[in-house]
Amino acid sequence: GGATPAAVSAPAPKVAKDPLYLTIDPAFVVNIRDGARYRFLQVQVDLMSRDAIVIANVEKLMPRLKGELTMLYSALDSEQVHLPEGRQALQKNTLDLLNKVLAEETGRGGVEAVYFSKFVVQ
């Protein structure tokens, strides 16, 4: 007898790995322009990946990543971070920058999300 359709095994469902989080310490503190004067921007960046190798790569490349993010944040002005849309755009730019550097250095990105657990302009 031939195999019945019920005997044909379906592909196993892909099981999502648990998220792994990493906080970039210390928080970034940079000057941002506000008209003719400057304000301080403090940002605590947390990132998420489901791949332990990606987290290890971030840790290994931390000095370069911190330098690149400091340049990104210090180029901002207060208008860009005043509204939630601006902060969301900054989160996306942060994610894109992290994955770009990881891809350059290791051949792949893998950071899935960036969170700002602290965001203060004063």
Q: In the chain, how many domains are there?
A: 1
Domain that holds residue 58: 18-121
% of the chain beyond a pLDDT of 90? 83
The answer as to whether 100 is a domain residue is yes
Structural domain includes residue 6 = no
pLDDT at 53 over 70: yes
Establish if 11 belongs to a structural domain: no
The pLDDT of residue 33: 93
Residue 9 lies in a domain: no
Find the CATH number of the domain harbouring 35. Answer: 3.30.479.30
**Residue 20 pLDDT grade (very low, low, confident, very high; cuts 50, 70, 90):** very high
What would the pLDDT profile of 60-95 be if each residue is shown by its tens digit? 999 999 999 999 999 999 999 999 999 999 999 999
Residue 1 belongs to some domain of the structure: no
The pLDDT of residue 3 is above 70: no
Question: What is the secondary structure of 18-84 as a DSSP string?
Answer: PPEEEEEEEEEEEEEEETTEEEEEEEEEEEEES-HHHHHHHHHTHHHHHHHHHHHHHT-BHHHHHSH
| Within-domain flag for 40 | yes
